[in-house]
Every structure is written in structure tokens, then in C-alpha cells.
Chains A and B, each alone.
Chain A
């Protein structure tokens, strides 16, 4: 779409009717609330259905129940929902207002004016200052930085806190004066809003199942209605005909077919209580309760950031108990995005902290006293190092150690800056480099400042200025970076750092011994999941360098094959290096990630890592958190660049896998869930052994094409671990959709940045990591908490319980209503199919909402089969949820049969007893009203006993509710049958005196007792046999719990797992190419810091070419995130 915008010309731009910048997430205002909300509510099938029912009831010919039986619950439900919607919307209004009223400075009428963000128009020129939030897509016109550069933090977008560079167009960059930006897209048109995907109304699989079942029930209801209508027609023609003249005076002309038709509708009204409206309300209430439990859980409260867990959606809880796939972001989710310099190997000697759990080395850690750094005033306070040996070596003046630290201080792209307090601040574009430079700084080699030609560092207290002769920048194929500097003594040195695999090839043969030693060390570091880099240097001959430099200049000036020539020259000089050592930087995992991952895998949940990071980094993290291990049979890496390659690789991997499968006989068998065979659904295969799949973004783009898709999915699902790296937000969502669609599995996506939004939205459940600066992920998420490790508790405890409770609730609820309603059907055969109800109308009105709602709600909210500790300790308990065992169509049929059986017992036992019965005093008791009271009382008692048996966790609330419900039933019964209320409304309460007379008869109580025994005992037998013959895991744990009530269960049986691996990490830098050019050209340095003139040749670069270059490099990473809705400058 083409957009024409004239800068700073509001009148012109108004012609195009661009959207304004106001953010609307709220749905209603005061006036529209009632109509819109009601309209929405009646769009829900259930509500509309009950409305129809209400209308049916108002037709006198077919009204078999008075209108209040439907309208009371309906009004109750609609009011409750409306109140909930209103409060939700109120909070949305509040947050909208907050965002909309943020201040910005806009150029209006050629002067800067304060304007609220919501009033910013397309084409406005905005002045931004440092650390301001941005609430629109902007085009950078110019900035106070030289060459129109500005640094953008995109924490709200991708959770990465490193700065990204943006530059103004050269045409506009000369305009000067702070940062001016042009608003391009506003409000709903911003890239973020367009890119974040439509918010879908998420529904749980239980919801969908429930809807199907409700439809089935409607079908069943219609069948019953038809049977009864036919019965009525027959009865009318056989018996009613003769009866009619007798009972109904002069209505002889009515046809029996028409009567049957009316009866059909009457019975539909009566039998509608099979699907009572309170079902939907109760489900909502239970979910709300579960959500509050999540909010209230102290074990998911992160005290460091004062962030409790939050259930932002209250409708998905039980789905948390059915997760099969987790899609996790890496940065900020699995890792903290904090890089710390952990260990190093210098000249064959290891320095640094040792892992705590290796016993033989604990002596060092027991001191636990951080190293006292040389230059305390300049040291970074957060940096800690526990090995004193390194400090001693530095003090002793070991030249190799000094050289090593010098490399760290010199060979990087960090920019330094002093803040207002005079402290040295580093602007890093990759946190790895930051960690290394900071480490060097703390050990006394402080990087102070740089100009395009010089680097100044402080070496153990003395300022040394190096001349920067050449900067051999990083790129993905080189996987290394070098600087060539001349030190004050006049020596020319090449300092290099890079991936060990690459750098080791460039070493001088004399390094062989050191190489093998360092190599061992690197393996050890890699085994701890650290990111490693090799460090090397080379002394250069003056003459040789000059020759080389001349060739480089020529190459730069060349028009053809420039890049290749430069690369060749770089290769040329970076050889015969002397190895100094290696560094190991820890990409700090979030707390408890390993335990969580292990536990979730035990629960048969598959975890896929989807990250924008590089392959090496991603694999590294995979190893660090135990998703990838050396024990795996195979790790497939898919890195093809075109569709053919990708397909070939996938096919090969699959062949490989099935080939190995045939060979491995005694492996661990992973049986996957049974699946209905859809058209493109994947044929299930039993996989032996552990496999992992690693695929990068480019290959993924090809693999997601329709014909390869199934191959990919099949392969991926057979693997234990899947890592997708360098994926765009959209691809993340596509992967989720793929699994969702073809696997029919419940998915969960967890992430912290705006690049995870699409994935969070497309997964069944989206989880956002909260407590960080970025809000988008949290705002889009359904659940949020501060730490990845809380996922374990959320799924294994809250999710499992929610699912368990919801299933129990549904089973009971369907049972209850079938038992309640079907007696009308049986009674139909004895009352001439006349749609006479068995119960009092008031009882029908109140049964579901008063007499039996609270106990089942209490069970649905509080019930626990096993304790939270047990479900954490025994992740296998999670599996019934994944296999959908607790509530499915089969279970539903069992519940329905149970209900039908109960209704039979409820009806026919009293029927038999009443057939020829007289009261103790000879008076009536076989009258309709007494029968109704007996049935109602039996029903209430039977369902109460049933819920008492179903409740496995009896808190005082359950006691209060269950006993209370029975008490309430009797008190309401006696009130409604009292003389007083009859005196006031004789027509509405015709049951006067009934309870008093019926319930004082012994035989009535005998009937109630027998009914209860007959309906409940078979259930107990059934359950007893099931627990004895086919105990589930939870049954066993409960039995065990019972046996060892007093003994505390062992807190955790799983040992802390650390892998020992021989795997090497590559050059795992979150690094962008192009910074070297920025530095050597001096474009990112302030003019007020004039570069000292150097005697040596300057490296000249064509300025447009580097910009193009940079654009090219940055756009493919940046555009993937590039939803600059809220960018911190």
C-alpha cells in the first residue's frame, strides 16, 4: 500500500484519513455497553438457546414450565457476565488512557509543543530525547549523534537489552538538533499492531468437547421429545379421546397429532435442564477460582522483582493440564541475557570458578570470597570472580596473562562513555563482548576510549594508547575478529579472537602442545554450557604489514570482487598465530531452568526452543539446559539454503532415524498419543532412542512449504528436542500453528519479548515472562510470571489440578442433570405424556442454582487428588491430561449412563412404593404433591451423597457447602410449603403443608433411604473395583499417601543434573557485522572528541557503501523484530 505523507503538513495529510494514534483496546463506553454487551452475550449459543426457550415458555399452549424457571437463571447469568465484562473494560480504558496520555514533543506551527501521544498525527515531526518511550512507528530524520545515528533499545520488542543502531538518511541527517523523527504509521497501523496477529478468542479443548456434547445432548433431547410426542399422540387417540369429553368439557375436536406436536415442544422445555444454563456459569466460576489460585501462589512469586504470577485469561486453566508441546523463546526466557566471564584458560592453565557440585574441587569455592580487584574505583561492581590465582598471576606479571587481557581490552567493538558521575560506561552491541571487556577492566586492563585511529587503555594503572591500524571485522563465515595495532613501543601486533575451530587452524605449528591442552579446557568449558572463544595474537613485521595494508587499500578501491579480495587479504594476515588461551562466558540461565526442563520432559512434554539467535548459541543453550545431551543417539542439523537441500536433509535425517530405529532394540520406547488419522495427519511411529533436531530460519522457511511440511513435522515430532534458530516472529507462529494443526496437540508458547507475541497468540496457551521492561509479550499472554521455572508449578500443579477438577466437575454435572431431568421422561409414561413435571416448579428453578451448585463448585475449586508436592515430584502424574483421559466422550457416556441409572432408581422405587400406599393415618400420601416432594428430597440427597463421594479433599468449605446445601434445601422446602407464604400467594405456592405431612411419614423416609442406597452403592462397587484392579498412578500415590500420612515425602528425588560433554561451542556471539567499519570510519564517535591526527595511513571506506552494507546486514535481523511500537531510545 502506498502512503503519501508530507512532513509537518497536517492539513495535507488529513486528506488521506490516516488513523489517529490513539490506542483502543477497550470495547465499550458507557452508552454502548448495554446494547453491545447484550448483543455479544446472546451471540453465545447457550444464551441464545435459553432465550429461545424463554420465548417458547411464554406460549401458553406449550408452556409446561412457568417462565421464571428459565428467566431467573438467565438473568443471573447475564448479569454476572455483564459485570465481569464491565470491570474488564474499565481496566482496559485505564491502561489505554495511560498510554495515550504520554507526552511527546511535536513540531506544530514551527515550534515544539507538548502533545499527547494519542494526538500525534501521521507526518508530524517529533523530537525525542534520550530514554523516552516511543508509541508509534517513526522514521529517523536526524539525531544529535554524529552522522545521524541513534541507538535503540528494543527490550519491549524482543527482550534483548543490547542497543541496536539506526541511522538517518544522509539527506536529512544534517538537520541536526537532538533527535527528530517523523511519525509514519499511527495507532492501529503501526508495524507492531499489524504484525502482532489478530487476537484470537482462545478456547480450550474441553470447551470444544463441551460444545459437541451439548449438541449431542440437544439431539438426544429431540429424540426424547419425539418419543414422548409420539406417545402422546397414541395416548390421545386411545385413551385421551374418551377422557377429553369427560375432563375437558367441549374440546372434543382437537386432533391427537396436533396434541403430539404441542407436547413435543412442551417436553423440550421440560427436559432442557439436561443442559442447564448454570453449567456455563459454573465452568466460568471454577476457572476464575483457579486463576485466582495462580495469582495467589506464593511459590510463583518472584520476590526480587516483586512480581507475582498472573493469570491474565481466566478461561483456559484446564488446558494447562493438557500441554504436550512447549515452544520457548531463549533470550530472557531460558537465559537471563546476562553474560558473565566465568573462566579462562591462559597458556594452558585454567582460571576461574569451578562448578559447585564437583566434589574434588570444592575447596576453592568454599572460600567464596570474590577477588579483590586491582583498580577498585574503576571496577565494575557487579562482576565477581572467585579464583585468586589469576590475580596473582597478573601481579606477578606473567606476560602471557597480560597479553591475554590486552587482547580482551583491545579487540572488540565496544564504545566507551562517561556518565554524569564520571563512571566509565560501556555501550555494547553484544553482551558477550561486554562481558569480556568488563572482565579485562576488572583485572586492570581498562578500555578507556577509542577514536577511529586509536584505542586507549589503562594497563595496570598506566594509560597506553594503541594506534589502530586495521580492523578485521567479524562476519558469519570468518567467525573471528582481529585488530592490528601499533603499541607505543612501535611493535605491530595482530590480536584475534574467534571460534576455536576456526582459530585453531590458523595457529603456528609450534603451538601444538598448548593447542591440545587448551582444546581439553575448551571441552571442559563447553561441558558446563559456557560460550567459548579462542584468543590468539601475532607479531607483525612492519614491512610486511605495510605491503599488506597497501593491498587492502587497493582491494577497497576495487570495483569488482571487492569483498572477495578483502576476505582473501584477511585470511592472508590472520595466520601463524600464537595461541594465548580461551575465554568462557556464561550465558546465564534463568534459575531452575535445568530442573524445570528435566521435570517437564519427564511429564512427557516436548520442549521446542524457537530463538532468533544463531545456531551455535541456540545449541549451546540446548546443552546448557539439558535439552541436548551427549547421550542422544543423533542430533540432526538442518541448514540447507534452498528447498531442495532442505528436503534432502530432512529425508536423510528421517532415513537415518528409521534406520537406527531398526537397529536399536532395547531403547526407551516413547509411545505417542493416538491420533485421528486426518488427511495430512502424520502416521504415528514409535521412536526408539533420543534424537534432536536443529533447524535454522532459512531452512525453516523452506521446510514450512506445504510439501515438505509433513516431513518436517514428522521428523520433529519424533525428536525429543527441537531447536529452531534464527527464526522470525512470524516463523515462530508458523511452527506453532503447524504443530497445532497437524498434531492436534495442546501447545504452550512462552516468551518475553515482542518477537514472541505472534507465537504467544497462536499457541493454545501463551505465557509471558513478566517483571521485565518489555510488556508486549505479557500483554499478549494468557499467563505471566517472572521466571521460567514457575512453568513447572503452573503446569504440573495448577494445570493438573485445574484439568482434574474441571473433568470431575463436568462428569458430576452431566450426571446430576441427567438424573434430575430424565425422571420427567419416565413419568411421561404414567401421566399420559402430558408434559407434567415430576417436581414442583420452584424446585426446578432452584435445583441447579441453589440446592446443588455450591458443593460441586467447592469440589471444582478446591479438590486435590494428590498434594502439590507429589505432583511436582512425580511428573508422570501429568500424563492423563495429555491423553485426555479424565473427560472424553467415553467418560461422558459413563456419566450419562450413571445419570440414567440414577433417574431410573429415583423414579421407579418411589413409583413402586406409592402404587398402593397409604399413610400411617390412612390419609393420602400417594398424591402428586407428596410424590414430587419425595422425589425431590431423594434427588437432593442422592446427588449430595454422590458429591460427597466424589470430593476427595474435604476442607471445611466442602463440609459447609455440602451440609449447607441439604440444610438450605430443607429450609426452603419448609418455607415454601408454609402457611404464611401460601396465605400471601395462594396460586404460586400450592404445596402448602406438603413437606410437613410427607416428611413425617416413616415410609417416605424409607423410600428415600432405599433410593439413595440403590443409586449410590453400585457406583461405590464400580470405583472400588477400578481402584483395585486397574489403579492409576494417582490412586497408587494416594494409597501411599494414606499409608505414610505422617512421614514427609522426600523433597526431590532427582539429582541436580550436570552434563559432562565433549561438545564444543562455536563462536557464539550475538554479534552483528558492520561495527568494525563504523569504528574505523569514526562515524559513531562524537565530534567533540577530535581524533588525534595519526601519522599512519587512514583506512578509507566509501561512506555510502558501508551504509548500504549496514542496511543490508541489519535489516534482515532488524526487520524481523522491527515493530517499533515502543522503542526505548
Chain B
């Protein structure tokens, strides 16, 4: 063993806390007191939160009118695709018993429409929608090109299947006077959608930019004619279009259609009374046994009037409390047993 001291030293492992597995550490151990404390606190929190959520959900008002059946004749007309150019309107009167205070939102709601199908979700071209290259249709199968090989704008299955009913809400002050409730068609989308994700090609004349392309087969008019009056709501920037393009997670979904413009008569919201929806029925749902309805709703801090979250919190809180009592009981019994064991 003629090893130099240096060599010996170099083979001696470092005395660092890491290498010797002696890092200062906190040993996590669940003492009964800690666990029970956490459980009781969580229980209280969940119960309170649940009650608050239920109360706030109950404070909202919502009216949903399913117009699949009501407008049965229109639905029948739409089942035959060849009647696409025939207009069909349908009026649905209803009575609002109490007034809807504050901001009122109008949604259309579809049942059984699978916007989350794998191929459906992918069938869009973000490159086209951002206005960079309107002819970029590579991801849009099967709605890439029309039969004569012109690229479709906007391409893809999502765009093709866009919801195209028009819904007008009128307030019937009395049997003869009917005023249209003013609805805003702006601010329906996320800021990033409107200003980042969807952009028109940079040109004054949209129609020029979209030359050499064609409209989706289901659409009655091309993209640049969606809203001729307002250039900021036309083309890819159309709010209804953007809203539709944000695919829903589940086959039943609602999408924002308009916001109440709180002016004049409606400054506080929707007063109680007789109303009617005048619907231009274009979107066929009966073909796939779907349904559609229109929803008027007010909102609170936690969204709409869904009770699920509130109930779920309440139930969780209650179970947590029950569990903590049970645990406490078990713990105390065991402790007593141990004590008596030691006394013996």
C-alpha cells in the first residue's frame, strides 16, 4: 500500500451533507392533531364556499327557451338540404315574470352537437384565420377545397358548420307596441381571439384579399359579407364567427350571442313583461337529433346559475366534517386503549 496521502485523500468521499445523505430536512409526519386540524378547516371552508356559491347562483336569473319543437315546420324544411335558400322565420313569445337586473346575456344553446370530435376540432387553419395566408388550407380536411379546386375561406369543418340562426329579442310593451331589445354584438369574444388569433388580411377591401377563394359549402354568403356595416366585425373578425370557432368541450354547450345594450328603456336590465324571440331558422339540428334553445341570463361573480359547484362544495365539506369526527373518535379510543395498556 504505497499510496501517497494525496491519493488516499482523493479516494475519501467528500463529507458534504448531500453525499452523506444528511441534508437538513423536515421530516413530514402526520400527527393526529395536525390532520384533524386540517380536516376541520377544510370542512368549514368547503361548507362556507358551497353555501356562498349556492346563494349566488340562486341570485341569478335565467330563461331558456327550446325552440326545436316550437319551430317544427322550419326544422322540417331544413332537414332537406335543397331548401337552403328558402327563408323560414319563427316567433316565440314568452313572459318574463320578474325583471332581469343588470347585465343580461343572450346565448344560443345546442344539445347533442359534437364540437369536440377529434377530426372536427382539428379541421381548421389557424394560419388562414390569422390572415397571414388566406390560401393555407392544409389542416382543413375535408373542407379544404371546393370541387373546382379553389381553396375554401374559412376552411374546415368548424367554420362550415357555423351556427347561422338570427335571433332578435323584442319587448312587447302592449299588444301593439313592440320594441326591439338592443343587443350588442361586440365584446362577445376573448380579447386575444379578437386581436391576436383572428386577423383579417391587411387591406381596405376584404373582397379583394379573398379573391381566388370560395365560401364554405354550407354558408349562404362569403366571409367578407358577414357584417358589411361594421368593418371591425367583418371577415375573420366577426364576433359570431370567432365565438363559433372556439369549439365547445361537450356536446351540450351554449355560446354567447349578444349582450344587452343598457340604454333607454333597458338601463337597469330587462323589465318584466311580454317578450318574443324572432328567429330566422337556418341551422338544422333535427337531422342529428339535436336541439337548440335560446337562453337569457344574468351573471354573478362566479358565472352563471349553475348549482353544481355549490352543491359539490357543500357535499365535500359535509363529508370532510363527518370524516374528521370519525377520525377523532377513532383516535381518542385508541389513545385511551393505549393509556389503559400502559397503566396495566
Contact = CB atoms under 8 A, between A and B. Distances in A.
- Chains A and B belong together in one complex: yes
Interface of A: 64, 239, 242-243, 245-251, 266, 292-293, 295-299, 301, 303, 305-308, 801, 830-832, 834-836, 862, 864, 868, 909, 911-932, 949, 951-958, 979, 982-983, 986-987, 990, 992-993, 996-997, 1001-1003, 1006-1007, 1010, 1013-1014, 1017, 1020-1021, 1023-1025, 1027-1029, 1038-1039, 1041-1042
A1027 B248 contact: no
A997 B190 contact: yes
A927 B246 contact: yes
Contacts of A997: 190-192
A831 B114 contact: yes
A923 B114 contact: no
Contacts of B302: 920, 1002-1003, 1006
B127 to A, nearest CB: 5
B101 interface: no
Contacts of A928: 115-116, 121, 247-249
Contacts of B191: 993, 997
Given A836-B121, A916-B254, 16 more contacts: A247-B160, A248-B157, A303-B8, A831-B251, A915-B306, A922-B105, A922-B297, A926-B248, A927-B249, A954-B26, A992-B192, A992-B197, A1003-B302, A1013-B42, A1023-B30, A1029-B330
B309 A953 contact: no
Most buried by A among B15, B252, B308: B308
B58 interface: no
Interface residues of B, number: 99
Contacts of A249: 142-143, 160, 217
Contact of B46 (A305, A1013, A1038): A1013
User: Ordered nearest first, which 3 A-B pairs have the shortest CB separation?
Assistant: A993-B192, A296-B19, A931-B249
Interface stretch (B66-74, B172-180, B262-270, B284-292): B284-292
Interface stretch (B163-171, B223-231, B312-320): B312-320
A557 B126 CA distance: 110
Contact of A308 (B1, B13, B323): B13
B330 A925 contact: no
B190 A993 contact: yes
B288 A239 contact: yes
B130 A306 contact: no
Contacts, number: 276
B20 to A, nearest CB: 6
B28 A248 contact: no
Nearest to B35: A1024
B142 A248 contact: yes
B243 to A, nearest CB: 7
A1038 B26 CA distance: 12
Nearest to A919: B303
B107 interface: yes
A323 B12 CA distance: 28
Contact of A956 (B23, B143, B189, B301): B23
A853 to B, nearest CB: 20
Contacts of B256: 918, 922-924
Given A249-B142, A862-B23, A912-B312, A924 B255 contact: yes
Interface string B31-54: 110010011001000100100010
A913 B250 contact: no
A986 B306 contact: no
Contact of B11 (A307, A835, A911, A1023): A307
Contacts of B259: 922
Contact of A951 (B28, B187, B316): B28
A236 to B, nearest CB: 11
Contacts of B7: 306
B284 A246 contact: yes
Nearest to B7: A306
Contacts of A992: 192, 196-197
A303 B7 CA distance: 11
A864 B42 CA distance: 29
Interface in B133-150: 139, 142-143
A836 B251 contact: no
30 contacts: A239-B288, A242-B288, A247-B160, A293-B21, A296-B20, A308-B11, A831-B117, A918-B304, A920-B303, A922-B103, A922-B105, A922-B259, A923-B190, A927-B248, A929-B246, A930-B249, A953-B26, A955-B24, A957-B23, A982-B126, A987-B139, A992-B196, A993-B191, A1010-B309, A1010-B316, A1017-B39, A1020-B38, A1025-B330, A1028-B334, A1029-B330
Interface string B96-140: 000000010101000010111111110001110110100000010
Given A830-B116, A1006-B49, A982 B196 contact: yes
B117 A247 contact: yes
A301 B9 CA distance: 11
B117 A862 contact: no
A200 B308 CA distance: 60
Contact of B193 (A912, A918, A993): A993
A200 B323 CA distance: 53
Contacts of A247: 117, 120, 157, 160-161
A242 B308 CA distance: 32
B3 interface: yes
Given A830-B116, A862-B23, A926 B250 contact: yes
Nearest to B304: A918
Interface string B211-248: 00000010000000000000000000000000100111
B118 A64 contact: yes
Nearest to A266: B118
A1020 B161 CA distance: 48
B299 interface: yes
Contacts of A306: 1, 3, 7-8, 11-12
B288 A243 contact: yes
B19 A836 contact: no
B76 interface: no
B311 to A, nearest CB: 9
A1021 B288 contact: no
Given A296-B13, A979-B196, A987-B127, A243 B114 contact: yes
A958 B119 CA distance: 42
Contact of A1042 (B31, B289, B334): B31
Contacts of B84: none
Contacts of A1001: 303
A242 to B, nearest CB: 4
Nearest to B142: A249
Given A909-B312, A918-B107, A929-B246, A993 B197 contact: yes
Contacts of B197: 982, 992-993
B13 A1013 contact: no
Contact of A1006 (B24, B31, B53, B130): B53
Interface in B199-217: 217
B127 A1014 contact: no
A97 to B, nearest CB: 22
Nearest to A235: B114
Nearest to A868: B21
B253 A986 contact: no
A239 B289 contact: yes
A301 B12 contact: yes
Nearest to A1006: B309
B303 to A, nearest CB: 5
Given A246-B287, A926-B249, A992-B196, A913 B306 contact: yes
A993 B196 contact: yes
B116 A836 contact: yes
A916 B305 CA distance: 8
B12 A298 contact: yes
A430 B157 CA distance: 92
B29 interface: yes
B183 interface: no
A1042 B309 contact: no
Nearest to B117: A834
A1027 B105 CA distance: 53
B105 A918 contact: yes
Contacts of A957: 23
